[in-house]
Structure 1
Amino acid sequence: MAASTALRLDSISPPSQLAPAQQLAAAREVLRREAIALWQVSHRLGEELNDALNLLHACRGAVIVTGMGKAGLIGRKIAATLASTGATSHFMHPAEAFHGDLGRVRCGDVVLMLSQSGETGEVLQLLPSLDQAGVPIIAITANGQSTVGRAARVVLPLGELDEACSLGLAPSTTTTAMLALGDALALVLSSMRGFTAEDFARYHPGGSLGRKLARVDEVMRPLVDCRVALVTQTVRQVIVGCGKPGRRTGAVMLVDAAGKLAGLFTDSDLVRLFEARDEAALDEPVSQRMVASPTTIGSGARMSEAIKLLADRKFSELPVTDPAGKPIGMIDVTDVVEAPEAMAQADPVPSTPVRIFPGEDVYAAG
């Protein structure tokens, strides 16, 4: 860039800045104003909330949430919360609705309409079509006498709220109140429908939340992928006979003649023998070196319970047993903390022997 047109950064006046203490005070004031607004809205609610909940509970179609601008963004979150807690729900953008998306609306649906003023143009243009379709409206608005308020079957009033913005303009307090009121509707409706933890798990199968809500049977390594040996074998027989391809569990499950779990022999137990250079122990019955009557978790238990056991007792492995006490799988801590795709890329077991004791080859495993 030529010198005559180059921008001199040192010639730009810096913007006015708040001191750190002022920044903190301003942020706290925003939160204080929004908290007061939520308290005010909660105390304004009356029988109209019951009317709205009864209308939603009786809905045999979908709850269609709509709103424009910031209210629309809040509406998307409310629709998502409704859907994740048992109500069929989706968001409909009012401008797109006027250009064809009104075809989504069916008899039996309920519309949840968000508009602070109740006079938002893009929202108002939907009213004749919704009235023609006979779809009831629940309005979240500050003004029950607005056009939206008069068209609604039920009005949930926000009342007059001051925005937390220093200019009093940017939607902040009002959108927070809309969001909280939407949460209240969704969560109370969920309770009215008897929404259970099982239902929640079905709608949230992915991520850490889904993993905690899942059953241990869905996450455990099945018995075919676990190391299992007879309690009557020696330590050496257990080690030699329990090789598994891929990433193995950190423990061998030891069963009696009836197939019931009798104990665990962990990699840590084996390491302790190596550290003590106790070669003779390799030919002793594994029952003398195992963890007898280990902690287990029953088939059908939730992963949240398994994770708590692993964390509280600092276990790395947790056998899963059936009602008869027979092992059906193993929860390994690496399966809990690692992503499935990482497990799929696990290195295979090395085939190079590592000499531990003179004349004894023990194969290293990952």
Structure 2
Amino acid sequence: MLERAKAIIRQEAAALETLSNRIDEHICMLADYILSSSGIVVVCGIGKSRLVGDRISAILTSTGTRSITLDPVDALHGDIGRVRAGDVIIALSNSGETAELMQFIRAVRQLPVMVAAITGRANASLAQSADLVVDIGPIQEACALGLAPTTSTIAMAAMGDALALVLHERRGFTRQDFARLHPGGSLGRELMRVGDLMWPLEAIPVFRPDTPLSLALLSICRAPRKLGVGAVLCERGKVIGILTGESIGQLVDRGATPDLNDPVERHMQPPLTAISGHAFLNQAAELFRRCESELIPVHDDQERFVGLISRRDVLKPS
């Protein structure tokens, strides 16, 4: 069984290699048409092709190309109303002869839409009805019977990936765009900026270096958000130290009695490092792994203090 499993994967990999040599300018023509269209990309197919279509549409949508999937059977019973003039229809069928799909294509032709076919038979009915054909060529399925859609669906999916990623690169789709569309989960967290997760300046008491310790601790206790910290700033607005209620408490626990009239600079902890609010969270995580600080000051483009980022917030499990 292991040898057979390896052979199946090798067969599918070989099919993708063949596909990479077979692909031609038609995929570029399709990409150019989508880029110039004001409509959305409607991906459709029957059976396993519909499942591949779901994946293609999801990749398109997540990389900046508006797309929906449409079941041709549902479309023939009212859902064709989802299609609008100017949309691009991508129809998936290895055989190119799927009856329900062909009926849908004939019906949708009542609208001024562009129809592209991704198929394994360039002379099939679907190809003849399409404005543009992306031909994946004749493909032998990995199934021992040569029947179960396996290699052909992988080829269609790979063609969809190629189209989606060419489009995303041509659009100049950035990490910021990707983060906007993927705000949840570990992926969204990885693409977040420090400024999105920091404790903002408005929530942090700030002091001059000569502020009495008593007033600083009172400000920390009265702060709207009970963060237990304050920042010491110089005249230029740059952070030169961090005061934490925890550090004062540790002094008391050791039997020391801090003079509440002391200037706060005697009890502050100079920051070991700082980070820009524009930095990504993975950069902040790397800083925390390199230093022992629980808090890192965040600055703007002029290196003015704008907030604090916490080790616990950055390194906590996603």
Report the TM-score, using the length of structure 2 for normalisation. 0.86
Counterpart AA for 2:3: A
In 1, Cα distance between the equivalents of 2:196 and 2:245? 25
Note the residue ranges of structure 2 that are not aligned, 5 or more in a row.
none
Quote the offset at 1:112 in angstroms: 0.7
Quote the offset at 1:29 in angstroms: 2.7
> Which of 279, 297, 317 does residue 256 from structure 2 map onto?
279
Post-superposition Cα deviations, 1:134-184, rounded to whole Å, max 9, x if no partner, equal 322111111011111111222112222222234433222111111111011
Q: State the secondary structure of the residue aligned to 2:110.
A: helix
In 2, Cα distance between the equivalents of 1:236 and 1:30? 73
Q: Give the count of matched residue pairs.
A: 316
> Which of 35, 55, 71 does residue 77 from structure 1 map onto?
55
2:227 corresponds to 1:248: yes
Q: Tell me the percent identity.
A: 38
In 2, Cα distance between the equivalents of 1:107 and 1:170? 36
2:178 corresponds to 1:197: no
Quote the offset at 1:55 in angstroms: 1.8
In 2, Cα distance between the equivalents of 1:167 and 1:221? 61
In 2, Cα distance between the equivalents of 1:308 and 1:337? 10
Alignment of 1:2-13 (within 5 A): none
Q: State the secondary structure of the residue aligned to 2:183.
A: coil
Alignment of 1:164-243 (within 5 A): 164-233=142-211, 238-239=216-217, 241-243=219-221
Specify the alignment match of 1:60 in structure 2. 38
2:99 corresponds to 1:121: yes
Alignment of 1:151-166 (within 5 A): 151-166=129-144
- Matched-pair contact (CA < 8 Å) for 2:64–2:168: yes
Post-superposition Cα deviations, 1:42-61, rounded to whole Å, max 9, x if no partner, equal 11111222222222222221
Counterpart AA for 1:45: I
In 1, Cα distance between the equivalents of 2:154 and 2:259? 66
In 2, Cα distance between the equivalents of 1:203 and 1:326? 30
Counterpart AA for 1:100: G
Counterpart AA for 1:170: A
- Matched-pair contact (CA < 8 Å) for 1:229–1:242: no
Specify the alignment match of 1:12 in structure 2. none
Post-superposition Cα deviations, 1:216-236, rounded to whole Å, max 9, x if no partner, equal 333222223335444334667
Note the residue ranges of structure 1 that are not aligned, 5 or more in a row.
1-21, 341-366
Counterpart AA for 1:50: C
In 2, Cα distance between the equivalents of 1:267 and 1:165? 67
Counterpart AA for 2:94: Q
Quote the offset at 1:32 in angstroms: 1.9
- Are the structure 2 counterparts of residues 29 and 135 from structure 1 closer, same or farther at C-alpha, using a change threshold of 3 Å? same
Post-superposition Cα deviations, 1:241-267, rounded to whole Å, max 9, x if no partner, equal 422566626x54222355431122457
> Which of 129, 134, 141 does residue 112 from structure 2 map onto?
134
Alignment of 1:284-363 (within 5 A): 285-313=263-291, 315-337=293-315
**180-189 or 291-300: bigger deviation:** 291-300
- Are the structure 2 counterparts of residues 225 and 130 from structure 1 closer, same or farther at C-alpha, using a change threshold of 3 Å? same
In 1, Cα distance between the equivalents of 2:80 and 2:133? 22
Specify the alignment match of 2:66 in structure 1. 88
In 2, Cα distance between the equivalents of 1:101 and 1:295? 57
Q: Alignment RMSD, CA only? A: 2.8
Structure with larger Rg: 1
Report the TM-score, using the length of structure 1 for normalisation. 0.76
In 1, Cα distance between the equivalents of 2:269 and 2:146? 67
Post-superposition Cα deviations, 1:37-95, rounded to whole Å, max 9, x if no partner, equal 11111111112222222222222211110011111111111111111211121111111
- Are the structure 2 counterparts of residues 290 and 246 from structure 1 closer, same or farther at C-alpha, using a change threshold of 3 Å? closer
- Matched-pair contact (CA < 8 Å) for 1:253–1:261: yes
> Which of 70, 73, 81 does residue 103 from structure 1 map onto?
81
Quote the offset at 1:214 in angstroms: 3.0
- Are the structure 2 counterparts of residues 218 and 151 from structure 1 closer, same or farther at C-alpha, using a change threshold of 3 Å? same
- Matched-pair contact (CA < 8 Å) for 1:38–1:177: yes
